Amino acid sequence: MDSQNTNNNNYKETRHVVIYGYTRQELSKVMRHFEDHLPEFVKITIDSSNLVTKITLTGVNSGLELLRFKMNKFQQELKGIFSEEVISTEDKTIGRVLGELLRERELTVACAESCTGGNLAHRITQAPGSSAYFLGSVVSYANDVKAEVLKVSRRDIDRYGAVSRQVAEQMALGVSKLMRSDCAISTTGIAGPDGGTKLKPVGTVWISVKYNEKIVCECLHFQGTRNEVIESATNHGMVMLINLLRNSYVMQEDFNDE
């Protein structure tokens, strides 16, 4: 909650809601009714990139208590609209939200990255104090590195391909064992613009997340440029771990790419 007094005896209040999982087109449909009912003294800005959206409400009025009441009400309405997709009600990055959860619970995390090429490590370590919970990342771009460093089964790589549930799960388990971390995130996919097939088109990414003894895995099909696929996969991996830590993770329906 941000509050300040402006020069003309008006008060200014700001509220944030950070959500994950909506495209710009989907957002415009969902938000239309909410935006239409906002009073004139409240302005809304929507900053959306790679399925992460920060909604900022800014209210300016002469009555502070009434303004705070109204702004809290609008923020609650937004939380109600996006109940399962809310990452934060403060102006925070996904990396910072994840870091605070890990720090609060005294947990550590490591990453095994193929298609994201170290971007997960970069984004996690952008948060101040990340040395308290981030142990390291193995950028296992080559299959030999997956097999020799992370102990992924060569037989599974040959049978299912590097972009598969089996390989993603073994990457997460392997890096967690290697670095003795409580949590792990792994990514393996096709960022493009080349390398796609009919069964596994460009933008296909398998992401696996481990928390203690639990491991989950998802197959995603991201749209956009190579960099957009990398950023989207990075965001999704962090959100999966956030939801797992919050006990709000919803299992993806079974996906078979064989």
Tens of pLDDT, residue by residue over 109-128, are 999 999 999 999 999 999 99
Phi, psi values for residue 125, rounded to 5°: -80, 0
Where does residue 64 fall: left (phi above 0), alpha (psi -120 to 50 degrees), or beta otherwise? alpha
Mean pLDDT, the chain, whole residue set: 94
Cα dihedral sign, 24-25-29-30: negative
Q: What are phi and psi of 107, to 5 degrees?
A: -110, 160
Asked whether the whole model's pTM tops 0.85, one would answer yes
What does 120-171 look like in DSSP terms, one character per residue? HHHHHHTSTTGGGTEEEEEE--SHHHHHHTS---HHHHHHH-SSSHHHHHHH
258 pLDDT band (50/70/90 cuts)? very low
Least confident interval from 3-12, 47-56, 72-81, 157-166: 3-12
pLDDT for position 161? 97
Residue 243: both structure tokens together: 């939801």
